[in-house]
Amino acid sequence: MNCEFMIASTPLPPCMPLPKAILQLPVSNTAKVMYARLLDEILTRGTEDSNGILFIRFPVMEIAAALSRSPQTCKRSLNELEQAGMIMRVRQGIGEVSHIYILLPREDAAHE
């Protein structure tokens, strides 16, 4: 990887968003990075449901490839995020990819 030092006028390369509140969650680092990746995905390729709420279809194998992790690790991280209340998965039909809704922490949650 080719790297350079930052100066005040250096533009940032493309970055993924990560709310600061996520750093306080009792989930693995893989789950935290996954949340940032899911949030980036919903911002770029999100689909609106009938209520106007964005969701994504992101198969576990694609998540695993995007994060360079095993599918089993990604399933575990998805479960962590769901249990922590940061995502909601809505199962579709047999063989269909779940809809993943990303929940954002409230601004005051960082102070709790």
Q: What is the pLDDT of residues 39-53, one digit of tens each?
A: 999 999 999 999 999
Asked, for residue 112, whether it belongs to a domain, the answer is no
What gap in Å lies between CA 106 and CA 99, rounded to an integer? 22
* Residue 57 domain-assigned (yes or no): yes
Q: Please state the pTM of the whole predicted model.
A: 0.86
Specify if 86 maps to a domain.
yes
DSSP 13-52: PP-----GGGGGSSS-HHHHHHHHHHHHHHHHH-EE-TTS
Q: What is the pLDDT of residues 67-111, one digit of tens each?
A: 999 999 999 999 999 999 999 999 998 888 899 999 998 766 444
Residue 52: both structure tokens together: 């106007």
Per the structure, the count of domains in the chain is 1
Structural domain containing residue 98: 22-105
pLDDT of 85 reads: 94
Is 110 within a domain?
no
